[in-house]
Every structure is written in structure tokens, then in C-alpha cells.
Amino acid sequence: MTYRRIEDQLKASQNNYWLFCHAGIDRHQCWDHPVVPAHVGHGPLTAISENPGIDHTAMPEANLPESDDDMGQVFKAANDLIIRFKSESQRQWTDQRSRGEQEKTWVLQLARSFLPEGRVLIADKDNHVLSDITQGNGVNTASTRNAHLLDLIKDAKFC
């Protein structure tokens, strides 16, 4: 089964999500945090924006150094935020996959109920066959499983 399109959509949303998070952290620390002067933003705080763990938007890592000083507390808060966002992102990804499977199941059940003696083919976003159920046996036709939809067409004018 192909989830390339879903993955692309999720990656795009994740990128936007982490850019937003990234910008939020910078703004919070430079403008809002009373114990951190604005000029400090050019010193230790740049560690946040330059941290490769955050810049890796697809799989960010909460690896900012957590010391006992004020900066350590800021980094700890940032790490906690990253972990929460990461957890939420993974949950959404799992939900999306689950929804895809459920959708395929109910579409197939609906089609079979209206057409018990017929043949039902379901193709994904890349036109690969997800299911090919023939005449009520409820079993996928192995030869067409994962085949490209257009490869199944043997019309004389098409081949």
C-alpha cells in the first residue's frame, strides 16, 4: 500500500508546525522572558536556533543542554515543548494511517453489499490496486494486488 501522498502532506504540515514552534521559542525568549535581556538573544539563545535537533523538522530532538542556570531552565522548557509537539505529531500520523485503513474497509464493504456478485477494485492515490475482490469470495485477487491500475487495461487502442 502506498502512503506517499499522505506522507507528503504530513511532512508539509510538520515542517510548518516546527517552523511555527521554532519562531515561537525565539520570540518568547527574546521579547517576553523578563530575566533574559534582549541582547542575550545573540549569545546563548542562538544555540536554540542553531540546534540541529530543532532544525531537523521531520524528526526534531529535544537535546538542548539543561543546566541549573536560567538558560538551562529556558532550554528545559524548550525541550519539554519539543517532546510534546513530537508526541502530538506522532499521534496524528498514527491516526491518519488508521483512518486510511478504516476508509478502505468501509468503502469495500459498501461496494460489496451493493454488488455481491460483481468485482470491486479499489486503487490508491498512486493508482495502485489496494483491493480486488471477485464474486463474493472476499479474497483479494493476488495477480492484481499492488498492480498499477493502468497496467490492468489491455484494450487494443490503449496498449
Partner 1 sequence: MRNFANLLTNAFRQEGQVVRGAVVFENKNYQAAILSVPAQQSVTVKTLIALQPS
> Cα–Cα–Cα angle for 152, 157, 159, nearest 5°?
40
Applying the rule CB under 8 A, the residues between 78 and 137 that interact with partner 1 are 96, 99-101, 103-104, 107, 111, 114-115, 117-127, 130
Q: Does the footprint of partner 1 cover residue 147 (CB under 8 A)?
A: no
Question: Taking CB under 8 A as the rule, does residue 47 contact partner 1?
Answer: no
Return the number of other C-beta atoms located less than 10 Å from residue 86's C-beta. 18
Closest approach, Cβ 88 to partner 1, in A, equals 19
Q: In the structure grid, which three cell numbers stand for residue 36, read together?
A: 533574559
Q: How far is the CB of 148 from partner 1 (least distance, A)?
A: 11
Q: How many CA within 13 A on the CB side of residue 49?
A: 15
Per DSSP, 129 falls in state: E
Q: Dig out the grid coordinates for 53 from the structure.
A: 535537533
Query: At closest approach, how far in Å is the CB of 19 from partner 1?
Result: 23
Interaction between residue 153 and partner 1 (CB under 8 A): yes
Distance between CA 62 and CA 76 in Å, rounded?
9
Which residue type is seen at 122?
I
Rounded least distance, CB 46 to partner 1, Å: 40
Residues contributing to the site for partner 1 (CB under 8 A): 1, 3, 5-6, 96, 99-101, 103-104, 107, 111, 114-115, 117-127, 130, 149-150, 152-155, 157-158
